[in-house]
Amino acid sequence: MRALKTGLLLTSLTLLLVLGGDALAGSQGMTFGLILAVGMNGFAYFFSDKIALKSSGAQPVTREQAPRLYAVMERLAAKGNLPMPKLYVIPQAAPNAFATGRNPKHASVAATEGLLELMNDDELEGVIAHELSHVRNYDILTTSIAATLAGAITWIASMARWGMIFGGLGGGSRDERRGGGISALVMMLVAPIAAMMIQLGISRQREYAADAAGARLVGHPYGLISALEKLGAYNRRIPMTNVSPTTSSLYIVMPWSGGQVLAGMFSTHPPLSDRIAVLRQMTITP
């Protein structure tokens, strides 16, 4: 059911981009919106993992450098019949982790130094199972595409505002050029907000799904529940630094950078209390 909701939301984003281009610049704008969507999706498909790893400062680690992380990852990857991802450690004291990569064969999982220090074995297993579930369900690709489409919509609306300031939008005949009218004004104001809310909806659906799939992979939800409780407590006390807004949605919990206003309303993650409540209600049969 969550997969269906995600598909509908992703389709809504694409339609919003195409219809936004149509409202702002007629048929030419609609064509441009479609081309932009395809191009941006292609870029996200091949390069989003490299951008996420580089922007986080993640460093590749060997088995000798992180034996505990490798042991948990190998055990869960084998249990889930998944290829072994590349492993990275982020030099941050705040506990957190994320997975990235366009498919299971090209996946990477990064954990902060704080996560490896603060989590016990059950909690670390719960976090890694959550991230492997993202890999298995292609969530990284889905959320990256959603972020790219939302960014493209915002960019088109911004360009449209400048176009109206400097003489209107579009070109060609009066019938073809609808930019500059009421529909364009509404689209410029509403489209970026709608795109952001749809993007948030997609990300939140995938977090719930990864929690449930991770608990099933381990065989119980208790390690992940304890991990989420600890992550929520420590991330408030130890803010993360140098976290890009474009990659913050990948982390298992939203990185806290301090000074955030209305963080819950505009978060890419569901409230931790809600995620924990759903996990507590799970019944996993052997």
**Residue 194 pLDDT:** 64
For the stretch 220-275, pLDDT in tens is 999 999 999 999 999 888 988 778 766 787 899 988 755 444 455 567 789 999 99
**Residue 171 pLDDT:** 46
Gap between the Cα atoms of 40 and 159, Å rounded: 17
Q: 3-class DSSP state for residue 82?
A: coil
Q: 3-class DSSP state for residue 111?
A: strand
Structure tokens at 34: 């479609």
Q: Residue 285 — very low, low, confident or very high, per pLDDT cuts 50/70/90?
A: low
For the stretch 53-67, pLDDT in tens is 998 999 999 999 999
For the stretch 184-232, pLDDT in tens is 556 566 666 666 666 677 778 889 999 999 999 999 999 999 999 999 9
- Asked whether 132 and 111 are in contact (CB, 8 A), the reply is no
Whether the pLDDT of residue 82 is over 90: the answer is: yes
98, with CB counted inside 10 A (0-12, 13-18, 19+), is buried
Greater confidence (95 vs 283) lies with 95
- Asked whether 63 and 119 are in contact (CB, 8 A), the reply is no
Catalytic residue status for 131? yes
H or E stretch covering 23: helix 2-56
Q: Where are the beta strands (DSSP E) in the chain?
A: 59-60, 86-90, 97-100, 108-112
Whether the pLDDT of residue 97 is over 90: the answer is: yes
Angle 2-56/139-165 helices, nearest 10 degrees? 80
Greater confidence (117 vs 33) lies with 117
Residue in 113, 131, 176, 207 annotated catalytic: 131
* Chain-centroid distance, C-alpha 53: 14
Lowest mean pLDDT: which of 27-36, 116-125, 179-188, 273-282?
A: 179-188
Residues 157-186 have a mean pLDDT of: 53
What mean pLDDT, rounded, does the chain reach? 78
Residues 85-112 have a mean pLDDT of: 94
- Asked whether 33 and 157 are in contact (CB, 8 A), the reply is no
Number of residues assigned to the chain: 286
